[in-house]
Structure 1
Amino acid sequence: MLSPGDAAPDFTLPADDGSSVSLGDFAGRRLLVYFYPKDDTPGCTTQACDLRDDLPAFSSLGVDVVGVSPDSVKSHVKFRDKYDLNFPLLADEDHAVAEAFGVWKEKSMYGRTFMGIERSSFLIDAEGRIEQAWPKVKAGKHAAMVKEYLEG
């Protein structure tokens, strides 16, 4: 997994609004990239809604937010519309970006193992370097942790 000071991997992914979003689109600004396992599941919904509600605070601190999961654009559109999400959701269907950030991991549930997203986020500074990383975040505490760091 990437650490503070590392260069953020460049990426271009399809977004829920039909556009393509690249790391370079945020040059000169700070960006929170949060990786989550699956649209419209309890933990991911809590996390997304908390970020939605705190987006004005993040914006006032000069931070943009994007969510990344292996779900399709179509799934992202339904998730965005159902919960009025106000930031881009990016489709990393081949999980190449998750792998580049080091969050595509072996997981286990009910005795079976599988590959998936380890819920993590990265604050990327205006120069494209990792400013802060939060591995294995708890969905319900994520937005508050990031806000506390930003206001710190």
Structure 2
Amino acid sequence: SNMRSSQTDPVRSDLDPAEPQEREWGTRIFLGFLFLIACAYASMLIYHVSRPPGTVAENDGIMEQCRQICMRYGLVSTGNVRRDAETYLEVVQKNPLTQELSQILAQTEYQPVPSQEHRLLNQPVPEIVLPDETGKQQSLSQLGKDRPMVVVFYLGYGCSHCVAQLIALDKDLHYFHELGAEIVAISSDEPSHTAERFKEYGRFHFPVLADVDNSVAQAWDVYQPESEERPEFSKHGTFVIDRTGHLIWAVTGTEPFLDNETLLRIIADSQGTQTSAAPEELAAAR
């Protein structure tokens, strides 16, 4: 019996080298990983609690402006720009357009949003020549030749609620085409960055141009470069240009303009008719 024990004991000890230690280290690494995740979430919660949503100020960075606006509506980023933008629209855009254009324009009780003061108002708009996501140069004079235009300045794909305006315009694009109007969107995103986001989230059915140095945005008073007196600041801008190339309506601010019915009415009124597109244009738009 003693002999049998002495022969089997060494074998048993050889089977247990460092398994408990390896399991212990694996557990420690896993727990450490969970701890890091918990710390990250705690940091986010502390930041949001310590900086509750308030009024967007010009000394806030662009991303902080976006965070403040989304927090105002109880929205927190999921990392998916399109999903976050559509959620923002569901919360903010209370009455999406669903009727025929003629019915929309016939509603007499609706009051369009009035234009703000703007130094370009009632003036011929300055020419814009910028690349699209493919790098091809596009000019405002060609895109808007003999047709009304809506020009939108947004803050780029780093800001989901900014992209929300483009999604809303894309959904209502057929209404604008019925009026013979075109839409152009502009941001400081690089063309390659916009192309990547198009592949990831889908493209829009109107030109999206790159004003990388913000020179055009500055000329349209929606970008303020940093100076000794003032910090860098960007605003949303939505502008309506009539068939003659004059600016007839402008709204700028810290939130995107989502009232597409106002834009349609301003365009229709500028043409003195409800639907000015030719029959073949109407058929193509539908």
Task: State the TM-score, normalized to the length of structure 2.
Answer: 0.47
Amino acid at match of 2:255: K
Q: What are the ranges of 5 or more consecutive residues in structure 1 without an aligned counterpart?
A: 108-112
Of 154, 161, 165, 1:36 maps to: 154
The equivalent of 1:13 in structure 2 is 130
The answer as to 2:236 corresponding to 1:119 is yes
CA distance in 2, matches of 1:137, 1:52: 21
Q: What are the ranges of 5 or more consecutive residues in structure 2 without an aligned counterpart?
A: 1-117, 270-286
Q: Is the contact between residue 47 and residue 142 of structure 1 (CA under 8 Å) also seen in structure 2?
A: no
- Aligned-residue identity in percent: 24
Q: Is the contact between residue 150 and residue 184 of structure 2 (CA under 8 Å) also seen in structure 1?
A: yes
CA distance in 1, matches of 2:151, 2:137: 15
Q: Is the contact between residue 38 and residue 70 of structure 1 (CA under 8 Å) also seen in structure 2?
A: yes
Computed over aligned residues only, the root mean square deviation of the Cα atoms, in angstroms, reads 2.3
**More relative contact order, 1 or 2 (CA 8 Å, 6+ apart):** 1
CA distance in 2, matches of 1:116, 1:76: 21
Instruction: Considering fraction of residues, name the structure with more helix.
Output: 2
Residue 46 to residue 39, structure 1, CA distance change in 2 (3 Å): same
Amino acid at match of 1:23: L
The equivalent of 2:166 in structure 1 is 48
1:106 shift after superposition: 6.4
Q: Is the contact between residue 237 and residue 256 of structure 2 (CA under 8 Å) also seen in structure 1?
A: no
Q: Secondary structure at the match of 2:186?
A: strand
Residue 9 to residue 22, structure 1, CA distance change in 2 (3 Å): same
Q: Is the contact between residue 36 and residue 120 of structure 1 (CA under 8 Å) also seen in structure 2?
A: yes
CA distance in 1, matches of 2:190, 2:210: 5
Q: Is the contact between residue 33 and residue 67 of structure 1 (CA under 8 Å) also seen in structure 2?
A: yes
Q: Is the contact between residue 46 and residue 140 of structure 1 (CA under 8 Å) also seen in structure 2?
A: no
Of 185, 205, 217, 1:86 maps to: 205
Residues 134-145 of structure 1 mapped to structure 2, 5 A cutoff: 134-136=251-253, 138-139=255-256, 141-145=258-262
Instruction: Considering fraction of residues, name the structure with more strand.
Output: 1
The equivalent of 1:133 in structure 2 is 250
The equivalent of 1:110 in structure 2 is none
Of 183, 195, 216, 1:65 maps to: 183
CA distance in 2, matches of 1:84, 1:44: 15
Q: Secondary structure at the match of 1:16?
A: coil
Task: State the TM-score, normalized to the length of structure 1.
Answer: 0.84
CA offsets, 1:90-147, max 9 Å, x none? 000111111111111369xxxxx74243101111111111011112173362434423
Amino acid at match of 2:127: D
The equivalent of 2:216 in structure 1 is 97
Residue 37 to residue 114, structure 1, CA distance change in 2 (3 Å): farther
Q: Secondary structure at the match of 2:182?
A: strand
Larger radius of gyration: 2
1:41 shift after superposition: 2.2
